[in-house]
Amino acid sequence: MAFVDDLGAALDKTPGGGIILTSLDAVMDWSRGKSLWMMPMGTACCAMELIAASFSRFDFDRHGSIPRPDPRHCDVMVVAGTITRKMAPAVKRLYDQMPDPKWVIAMGNCAVSGGIFYYDTYSVIRGVDEFLPVDVYIAGCPPRPESLQDAILRLREQVSTDSIAPGKSRALKSELPSSGSPRKGERDAAGGDVG
Amino acid sequence: MNINELREHLCSQYPDLCPLFSVEFGDGVLVIDADRLHEAATDLRDLGFDRLGMVTAVDTRDEFELVYRLQSRQMHAGIFVKARVPRDEPTIASVTDLWPAANWQEREVFDMFGIVFTGHPDLRRILLTDDWVGYPLRKDYQDERIIRRPDYI
């Protein structure tokens, strides 16, 4: 991604380049967010839910999330399952093989915190965030595929804040000042009538 | 073959093993001395126990108890063989030459309990990393990375 980074940095410094940068960011984030290819790092029972998510009932292809067997094809690593101390170097190595930009979803309690293996265990890593930068956590033992779907959509929202210029980010749509919800005003008016 | 027929068959072929035979929870159990294990295992294999189901160990805090599960396809029977080794020098003869399946099973027992199997062709750690210190399934295993479960959970 060196070329894109250089382009982003150059546009950021050029007077008036911000207009082009913003438009370019919008296109890049739209395309990145809609093709989050998954690295299915399934090591335990959560992998069953991860596999179910790819098949016809949940069909994550419609989100553009296709599981790929090769880390070099992938954008997001879904760590689904218990990571032992012996497995951690292999996970880190696969993560390092993924091209930038890359994201991590910690799926299930084991990947979040160690889960039921938190106490009295000699071999389990307490959360994959001990050695990977996790973007989205999903609780559950195991979580339903709907939770994974929610995580993909949240990650897409997060991806839409990224800028190709180093060190810059775009505001989340939900963080932008809003003009207020008309529904809330209606409810207040109704409450006043009842009172 | 039920357990009484198994006992009769064993006693008729190997009378010296007969007094060691007992029944625990409906299963035939042979408790033998550790230094006689290989000899007895050879006899049992010749008797027809052609399959080694598993090898495991129990830390009784006083000593280690090796547990071998032998099965026979001809007799449709299974038997447990138990042998006890002292904690300060846990050494026992390997049965890899009788059942090749014992190879990785004994490596796992070595990995988790530190029991040395003499005559094993390749006694290395199998599940843990090679530089691991200690044997985690021993009751007195200490590791600063373990978080003990508090009483209120």
What pLDDT score does A18 carry?
76
Instruction: For A48-75, give one letter per residue: b (16+ CB within 10 A) or e.
Output: ebbeebbeeebebeebbbebeeebeebb
Q: What is the pLDDT of residue A171?
A: 56
Cβ atoms of residues A93 and A101 within 8 Å: no
Residues of A in contact with B153 (CB under 8 A): 119
**High-pLDDT (> 90) share of chain B, %:** 44
Closest CA to B32 of B78, B66, B4, B73: B66
Residue B134 to residues A124, B13, B115, Cα–Cα distance (Å)? 16, 42, 12
Interval A19-44: pLDDT, tens = 888 788 888 888 888 888 999 998 98
Judging contacts by C-beta atoms under 8 Å, the chain B residues touching residue A86 are 127-129
CB-based contact, B139 to chain A, within 8 Å: no
Q: What is the pLDDT of residue A168?
A: 65
Residue with tokens 């199997």: B117
The DSSP secondary-structure symbol of A140 reads S
Hey, are the CB atoms on B146 and A122 less than 8 Å from each other? yes
Residues A45-92 have pLDDT tens digits of: 999 999 998 898 988 888 888 998 899 999 999 999 999 999 999 999
* pLDDT tens column, A132-188: 889 899 998 999 999 999 999 988 888 887 777 766 666 555 554 444 444 444 445
CB contact under 8 A, A119 and B128: no
What is the pLDDT at residue A192?
A: 46
Nearest-CA distance A123 → chain B (Å): 8
Poorest-confidence range of A111-120, A177-186, B12-21, B141-150? A177-186
pLDDT higher than 80, residue B56 = yes
- Residue B56's H or E segment, with its range, is strand B51-59
pLDDT value at position A167? 64
Within an 8 Å CB–CB cutoff, is residue B143 touching chain A? yes
Residues B6-34 have a mean pLDDT of 82
Alpha-carbon gap, residue A64 to A68, rounded angstroms: 12
Q: What is the dihedral of CA A82, A84, A89, A91, to 10 degrees?
A: -10
pLDDT of amino acid A94: 93
Compare A14 and A121 and report the one with higher pLDDT: A121
Chain B within 8 Å of A88 (Cβ-Cβ)?
no
State yes or no: pLDDT of B34 exceeds 80. yes
Interchain pair A86, B153: CB under 8 A: no
What amino acid occupies position A32? Answer: R
A122 and chain B: CB distance < 8 Å anywhere?
yes
Three-state DSSP class for B63? Answer: strand
In the three-class reduction of DSSP (H, G, I as helix; E, B as strand; rest coil), residue A144 is classed as coil
Q: How far is B144 from chain A (nearest CA, A)?
A: 9
- The pLDDT tens digits for B92-147 are 999 999 999 999 999 999 999 999 999 999 999 999 988 888 899 999 888 888 88
Structure tokens at A147: 């939770």
Global pTM value: 0.78
Helix (H, G, I), strand (E, B) or coil at B146: coil
